């Protein structure tokens, strides 16, 4: 969105909030109903919960449904809760089956089941079928509304079939071909169908089909779809029978959701799910405190290590000056290695069984980094302090960088091997381990060289 559009939006929101404070609903309604659904969606995202429900009720009915579709499931759920029974059944009916599942995942069970009851038998069956698949599976995110073709259809038959089902399907551009047992044999695009002779048979037109199993992890399938730029793929059950299709725009939606969570978790915060400015401070605190405590408890290890060397510190206080620099550099080196290896894992460039190769490469990389930083550290410290202190700092940097890179490189592989998210798991362990080990290395080297 261009910047001036955003500015306008902000001004509009301020205006709307003023009107609401004055209970001037007519003006709000007039302001809103000339806007595009996407603009209203963005306005609703920025309002407080109470205002949001109010403003929503002021929208014309058709507009309201399109705006609702554009909201994230969390905000949809907030809205449904706020609106109580008012209008919610109709909103729910207007959503596609897979969008209904996104929303149901957010709603309290009682509200969810009440909404489900409001659907007619067919719609309920479709939605319930999706709900029957495991959480986080592609089954919950696929669309059960698709158009299938048969091998022996002619291109003309197939086009007629598409023509007759234009309205009901999620997409008409991707057409799976099935046999009598509903097993997927291939897929045809509408473009291929239109380019064919009328009498050509679908079996001669169809290309190989990309499939996902219905219980597969939704994120993994989405990532595969996005990486290949596939327009859609067929979702099949254990017996290769077609149960749904999954399109690129759904993949993009899942990845936005997941990436947002990943970025947060890597920064040590739980995802907020609601816009920042409308999240209460207490919730911000809750999203951060656990991780902060875990890391702080880990950091008490450094206190313990240092207290072991307290006598050394008392003798040579100057050693204390370099503690933040040394463990900071160790932490940075470890994080760099972890970032690279986590990325390579995500791209399937490496697998957990490559652990020895990764370890060797990271040790070499860390050693070379340590050599560069250590030489620099040695020269500078020797000049400012004394030769021996320079030697201690130089050697410690060398050792810490090598250890940190190795630990940072291996940690994501271990995380993957025990099936936890490498990006989230690695950070606290690297910092705790590298900090403590780095300090031990530092004081061992210092004691040896300074002979204390």
Residue 123 makes CB contacts below 8 A (sequence gap 6+) with 93, 97
Positive or negative torsion for Cα 429, 430, 433, 435: negative
Give residues 411-450 in contact with a second copy (rule: CB under 8 A): 431, 435, 439
Q: Tell how strand 211-213 and strand 232-236 pair up.
A: parallel
DSSP readout, 183-242?
A: BEEEEEEHHHHHHS-TT-BHHHH-B---EEETTSBHHHHHHHHHHHT-SEEEEE-TTSBE
Cβ proximity to a second copy, 116 vs 368, nearer residue = 368
Cβ proximity to a second copy, 89 vs 172, nearer residue = 172
- Would you call 341 helix, strand, or coil by DSSP? helix
Neighbours of 200 (CB within 10 A): 17
Euclidean distance between CA atoms 75 and 272, whole angstroms: 12
Euclidean distance between CA atoms 178 and 20, whole angstroms: 55
Cβ proximity to a second copy, 243 vs 389, nearer residue = 389
Give residues 282-341 in contact with a second copy (rule: CB under 8 A): 282, 284-285, 287-289, 291-293, 295-296, 299-300, 302-303, 306-307, 310, 313-314, 317-318, 320-325, 327-329, 332-333, 335-336, 338-341
Cβ proximity to a second copy, 111 vs 395, nearer residue = 395
Closest approach of a second copy to the CB of residue 173, in Å: 5
Give residues 63-122 in contact with a second copy (rule: CB under 8 A): none
From residue 243, how far is each of 98, 123, 129, 215 by CA, in Å? 13, 15, 10, 11
Give residues 215-274 in contact with a second copy (rule: CB under 8 A): 224, 226-229, 231, 248-253, 256, 259-260, 263-264, 266-269, 272
Inter-residue contact 282 to 206 (CB < 8 Å): no
Give residues 336-365 in contact with a second copy (rule: CB under 8 A): 336, 338-341, 343-344, 347-351, 354, 357-358, 361, 364-365
Cβ proximity to a second copy, 34 vs 121, nearer residue = 34
Q: Is 452 near a second copy (CB under 8 A)?
A: no
How many residues bind a second copy (CB under 8 A)? The answer is 106
Helix (H) or strand (E) holding 82: helix 73-83
Cβ proximity to a second copy, 347 vs 448, nearer residue = 347
Closest approach of a second copy to the CB of residue 335, in Å: 6
Binding map of a second copy across residues 1-40, x = CB under 8 A, - = no contact: x----x---x-------------------------x-x--
Closest approach of a second copy to the CB of residue 113, in Å: 28
Closest approach of a second copy to the CB of residue 324, in Å: 4
Closest approach of a second copy to the CB of residue 58, in Å: 22
Cβ proximity to a second copy, 284 vs 449, nearer residue = 284
Cβ proximity to a second copy, 56 vs 442, nearer residue = 442
Inter-residue contact 11 to 17 (CB < 8 Å): no
Closest approach of a second copy to the CB of residue 283, in Å: 10
For residue 340, give the nearest of 331, 349, 328 by alpha carbon.
Answer: 349
Radius of gyration of the chain (CA): 30
Euclidean distance between CA atoms 211 and 186, whole angstroms: 10
């Amino acid at each position: 969105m261009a910047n001036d559009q955003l500015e306008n939006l902000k001004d509009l929101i301020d205006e709307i909030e003023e009107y609401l404070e004055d209970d001037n609903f007519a003006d709000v309604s007039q302001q809103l109903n000339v806007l595009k659904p996407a603009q209203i969606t963005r306005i609703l995202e920025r309002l407080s919960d109470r205002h949001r429900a109010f403003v929503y009720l002021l929208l014309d009915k058709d507009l309201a449904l399109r705006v609702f579709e554009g909201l994230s499931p969390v905000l949809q759920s907030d809205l449904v809760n706020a609106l109580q029974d008012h209008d919610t059944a109709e909103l729910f009916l207007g959503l596609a089956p897979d969008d209904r599942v996104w929303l149901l995942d957010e709603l309290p069970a009682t509200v969810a089941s009440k909404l489900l009851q409001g659907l007619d038998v067919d719609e309920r069956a479709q939605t319930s079928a999706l709900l029957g698949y495991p959480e986080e599976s592609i089954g919950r995110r696929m669309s059960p509304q698709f158009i299938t073709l048969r091998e022996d259809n002619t291109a003309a038959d197939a086009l007629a079939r598409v023509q007759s089902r234009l309205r009901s399907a999620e997409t008409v551009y991707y057409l799976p071909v099935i046999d009598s047992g509903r097993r997927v044999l291939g897929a045809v695009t509408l473009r291929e169908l239109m380019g064919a002779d009328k009498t050509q048979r679908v079996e001669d037109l169809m290309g190989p089909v990309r499939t996902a199993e219905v219980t597969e992890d939704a994120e993994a399938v989405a990532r595969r779809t996005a990486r290949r730029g596939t327009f859609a793929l067929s979702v099949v059950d254990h017996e290769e029978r077609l149960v749904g299709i999954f399109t690129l725009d759904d993949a993009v939606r899942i990845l936005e959701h997941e990436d947002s969570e990943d970025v947060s978790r890597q920064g040590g915060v739980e995802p907020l799910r609601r816009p920042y400015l409308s999240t209460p401070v207490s919730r911000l605190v809750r999203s951060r405190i656990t991780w902060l405590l875990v890391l702080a408890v880990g950091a008490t290890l450094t206190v313990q290590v240092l207290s072991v060397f307290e006598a050394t510190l008392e003798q040579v206080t100057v050693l204390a000056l370099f503690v933040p620099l040394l463990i900071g550099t160790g932490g940075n080196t470890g994080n760099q290695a972890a970032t690279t290896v986590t990325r390579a894992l995500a791209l399937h460039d490496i697998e957990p069984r490559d652990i020895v190769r990764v370890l060797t490469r990271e040790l070499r990389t860390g050693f070379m980094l340590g050599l560069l930083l250590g030489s620099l550290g040695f020269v500078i410290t020797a000049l400012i302090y004394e030769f021996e202190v320079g030697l201690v700092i130089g050697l410690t940097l060398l050792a810490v960088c090598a250890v940190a890179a190795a630990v940072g490189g291996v940690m994501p592989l271990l995380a993957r091997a025990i099936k936890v998210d490498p990006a989230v798991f690695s950070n606290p362990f690297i910092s705790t381990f590298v900090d403590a080990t780095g300090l031990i290395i530092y004081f061992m080297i210092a004691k040896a060289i300074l002979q204390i």
